[in-house]
Amino acid sequence: MKFIYITCNVSMLETVTSLLDEEEITDYQVMEQVTAKSNYSLPRLNTAVWPGYNSSVFIQESDKNKVSSLIETINRMNRSAFNNGERIALFSWDILACTESENGK
């Protein structure tokens, strides 16, 4: 199973969640207002000097094909992004242990 962390400009959140729906990824959580500094773009600290904020999505996915497809699609989207502010950062870790859900996932 993989744990995937995605962070992006709040303007890209709908694009990301639509992509998750298309990939049939159902186990995720969204944090809509996240202040951030990253090498993708200027800081977004929701201040007068650094306005705006990011959104973050936390995903748990056991299907390797879905994970690969998601990463490939986001890489493709980043290559065609109009500017760095539209780029999406994705990071993935292996989950070594987790609690079991009722449906056995």
Partner residues linked to 60 by β-bridges: 3
Q: Which pLDDT value is given to residue 42?
A: 85
Q: For the segment 13-24, what is each residue's pLDDT rounded down to a tens digit?
A: 999 999 999 999
Q: Which pLDDT value is given to residue 104?
A: 57
* CB neighbour class for 4 (10 Å; exposed up to 12, middle 13-18, buried from 19): buried
Q: Which pLDDT value is given to residue 78?
A: 95
Strands 28-34 and 89-94, bridge-based pairing: unpaired
Cα 8 to Cα 14, 90, 95: the distances in Å are: 10, 9, 23
Measured in whole angstroms, the distance separating CA 51 from the mean position of its chain's CA atoms is 21
The pTM score is 0.88
Long-range contacts of 44-48, Cβ-Cβ distance < 8 Å, separation of 24 or more: 44/9
Which CATH fold topology does 2-94 show?
Alpha-Beta Plaits (3.30.70)
- Residues 91/5, Cβ–Cβ less than 8 Å: yes
Q: Which pLDDT value is given to residue 39?
A: 81
Q: Which pLDDT value is given to residue 105?
A: 56
Element of type H or E holding 42: none
Q: Which pLDDT value is given to residue 33?
A: 94
* Residues of the chain where predicted confidence (pLDDT) is lower than 70: 103-105
| In the chain, domain spans | 2-94
